[in-house]
Amino acid sequence: MPQLSRVIRKYAGQLSALEPQLLNLPTTTRLLLALLLVAAATAIRWAVFPQVRGFEFLTYYPAVVLSAMLLGPGPALLAVPVSATLATWFLIVKNQTLHRVEDASLAIFIFVLSSGIVVYLAYSAQRNLRLARRAGLKLTSLHEASHFGLVLTDASGRFLEFNETFTRLTGYTPSELRALDYLALTPKQYLAEEEQQLAVLNSTGHYGPFEKEYIRKDGTLVAVQVQGAFYRDPDGDRVLCSVVEDISGRRQAQAKIMQLADEQRAMIENPAAGIIKLTDRRMIWVNDTFATMLGYRAEDLIGKTTRCLYPSDDAFRAFEADGYAKIEAHGSANLEVEFRHRNGSPVFLKCGMARLNGSQNTYVGVFSDLTEQHAAQRSLELAKARLQDAQRLAQIGSWEMDHTTGRLSWSEEMFALYGVPPTTSAPPDHTHLQNLHPADRPMTEDAFSSALDSGCPLDFTHRVILPNHTIIYVHVKAETTYTPGGAPLVTIGTAQDVTQNVRQENALRLSEQRVRTVFAAMREGLVVQQRDGRIVQANDSAARLLGVTPDQLLGQISIDPRSDALRDDDSSFPAENHPWTVAEVFKLLVAFVV
């Protein structure tokens, strides 16, 4: 009997494995297979029951049952009437085994009814098996496709079953995992918490969720969240079913969120940037920096309109008409605004303001303090005005040549110097070249070229012809800055009208020439000496009278200051002991210079 039982289970298992393939066949094919089963039953009837005994219809039960179990209800319902027809023919028509038709009809009815019951039971069993198999497939699919690691462990913590997600999570193969338990994957720092969770599991039947780390096969750590519960398997043993979630991505996201929060906090608390949030121009939030810029505390401003920050109603309305119009047109705008400090002083701020998405009346503004820049700008403008005044009074113009762009810029005095209207900071094209005196052009070009090549400062004077044809003398000084590679970067210089000085020098030179001519032509001897008696100049007549050359007189103390000579004011020097108190000496005209 045990052998028969094993054989039956073996073939039943094979038939059960064959069933899904048979059910996938076309309907016509399955119907033909049902008829073949009925034909096989007929052949077996002839082979097993060669003599008619009245129970031949029982041989058709296996055909009906196999049709119901393997081929489905349709082929089974076909096998039932065909089998009943053949049984009727054998019982009544051919062999007349049952003497009364009523008895034969009753037997056939019982056969059909019992066959119908068998078909129904087989179909129900098949349907339940199919539903169970489908549920098992769904469970298996969910088990394998789950993003969570699903694990079964026994009471000692050894891994029994697990899905592919868990193997990927740990880095072990299935055979390697079955040789381990959960403590092999747990770092030592989590053992105390594991003990606590185990106590909760034993008392409540479930544990977690709690976060820990697993040691992967390669030694790296992966952050996980685990939870689970006990259940009993068909043998009555307790099995722990656990769900393991890889939270390393979540932790990275949390770390990123924390980083962004820190960055946002740093931006909000930035001491250089004031931030406000407005709704209908009412401050619903401000940071401390913005409040400090204007001498307030943050709580002093929250809930108030921005009107309290403007110097006047007109300024408040002007910003709404101009600033908010730009924001509405572009979604955001960079503006400059003048507020009033709590102490009444003006505060100039640069404002970047934008409307929040999805809101028509809520804005966020970021402000930076420009008050010091405005003060520096005013100081710069004042210094520039003073420089222009000084240049105008001194008749000195400044200029700058950018050698990288070739752009020449002039101060206002440069335009006045050249007689050109100051339309822009740059002179009209080639004005400085066109106004050069033709005779000075080669010298000027050589001076600029030599200064650029040598790196020496530029210092020379040239003539300029003004638009009214007046000729002036301009003294130019300049220095050039070079790049590390030696290329000229920028030249900065000055130009001064020295026409009056040149004319005075020319007049003085002419006057000196005339004096020298008269000095040399005088018949009287003329000696010019310092107060210490040193001779600095003498004409030929003086040298002749004294019997020396003019060169021998220069630098000598040949006439004592105490001599009876004449001062510039015609007063006399004492001359009692002078050795040259002779008649010839009195023919000398002596002048003293300081």
Residue 247 has pLDDT above 80, yes or no: yes
> What is the side-by-side strand order in the sheet with 362-369?
282-286, 274-279, 362-369, 346-355, 332-340
Give the CATH number for residue 415.
Answer: 3.30.450.20
Residues forming a β-bridge with 496: 396, 475
pLDDT in the model for residue 480: 87
- What local confidence, expressed as pLDDT, does residue 581 receive? 40
567-581: per-residue pLDDT in tens? 445 555 454 434 344
Per-residue model confidence (pLDDT) at position 3: 52
Tens of pLDDT along 109-168? 766 776 676 677 666 766 666 665 665 555 555 556 677 888 888 878 888 888 888 888
Name the DSSP letter for residue 60: G
Verify that 6 and 127 share a domain, yes or no. Answer: yes
How far apart are the two ends of the chain, measured CA to CA in Å? 158
Question: Rounded CA gap, 224 and 287, in Å?
Answer: 39
Percent of the chain with pLDDT over 90: 3
- Position 545 pLDDT exceeds 80: no
Is residue 108 in some structural domain?
Answer: yes
HSE-CB of 78 using CA atoms within 13 angstroms: 18
Helices 101-145, 73-88: axis angle to 10 degrees equals 160
Residue 568 belongs to a domain:
yes
The pLDDT value given to residue 592: 42
* pLDDT (0 to 100) of residue 436: 80
The predicted structure's pLDDT at residue 296:
92
Q: Give the best-scoring range by mean pLDDT among 9-23, 55-69, 175-189, 536-550.
A: 175-189
237-244: average pLDDT: 85
| Nearest C-alpha neighbor of 118 from the set 57, 77, 59, 71 | 77
Which residue among 503, 538, 570 closes a domain? 503
Binning pLDDT at 50, 70 and 90, where does residue 325 land?
A: confident
Pick the most confident of 329-343, 389-403, 571-585. Answer: 329-343
441, 474, 503: which is the final residue of a domain? 503
Strands 525-530 and 221-232: unpaired
Quick check: is 559 in a domain? yes
Same-domain check for residues 553 and 498: no
**Which candidate, 385, 391, 495, 388, places its Cα nearest to that of 435?**
495
Q: Which domain holds residue 278?
A: 269-369
Query: 117 and 19 share a domain?
Result: yes
pLDDT at 584 over 50: no
Nearest to 19 by CA among 64, 62, 70, 60: 70
Does the pLDDT of residue 493 top 80, yes or no? yes
Tell whether 226 and 283 lie within a shared domain.
Answer: no
Closest CA to 168 of 146, 188, 189: 146
> 59 and 77: one domain?
yes
Let me know whether 43 and 136 are in one domain: yes
| 359 lies in some domain | yes
- Total-model pTM: 0.38
The reply to whether 128 and 153 lie within a common domain is no
pLDDT at position 218: 92
The answer to the question of residue 228 being in a domain is yes
Q: Are residues 227 and 175 in the same domain?
A: yes
When mean pLDDT is compared across 24-28, 322-326, 453-457, 561-565, the lowest value belongs to 561-565
Quick one: DSSP state of residue 25? Answer: S
433 or 396, which is more confident? 396
Residue 524: pLDDT band by 50, 70, 90 thresholds? confident
Residue 189 in tokens: 């720092």
- Same-domain check for residues 22 and 62: yes
3-state helix, strand and coil shares in percent for the chain, rounded to the nearest 5: 50, 25, 25
CA 96 centroid distance within chain = 101
pLDDT of residue 2: 46
Q: Judge if 175 and 245 occupy the same domain.
A: yes
Phi-psi domain of 390 (left: phi exceeds 0; alpha: psi -120 through 50; beta: other):
alpha
Please tell me the distance from the alpha carbon of residue 191 to that of residue 198, in angstroms, as a whole number.
10
| Residue 566 belongs to a domain | yes
Mean pLDDT of the chain: 75
Q: For residue 430, is pLDDT > 60? A: no
pLDDT digits (tens, 9 = 90+) for 68-98: 666 766 777 677 777 777 766 666 555 554 4
- One domain for residues 57 and 104: yes
Give 59-63's long-range contacts (Cβ < 8 A, gap of 24+).
60/84, 60/86, 60/87, 60/111, 60/115, 61/114, 61/115, 61/118, 62/37, 63/34, 63/37, 63/38
Kindly give the pairing relationship between strand 149-153 and strand 238-246: antiparallel
Q: What is the pLDDT of residues 194-240, one digit of tens each?
A: 888 888 888 888 888 888 999 999 999 999 999 988 877 666 778 88
Residue 327 corresponds to which tokens in the numbers above?
A: 């924001």
Domain end position, chosen among 503, 532, 562? 503
From CA 527, how far away is CA 533, in angstroms rounded? 10
For the chain, the domain total comes to: 5
β-pair type (588-593, 525-530): parallel
Opening angle at CA 355, ends 354 and 357, nearest 5 = 125
The answer to whether residue 517 is domain-embedded is: no
Assess whether 157 and 120 both reside in one domain: no
Question: Tens of pLDDT along 259-307?
Answer: 877 776 766 666 778 888 888 889 988 888 888 888 999 898 999 998 9
Are the C-beta atoms of 401 and 410 separated by less than 8 Å? no
Neighbours of 122 (CB within 10 A): 20
Q: Are 397 and 495 in contact (CB under 8 A)?
A: yes
| Residue 578 one-letter amino acid | H
Weakest-pLDDT range from 148-152, 367-371, 411-415: 411-415
Among 489, 480, 428, 442, CA closest to 459: 480
Is residue 402 assigned to a domain? yes
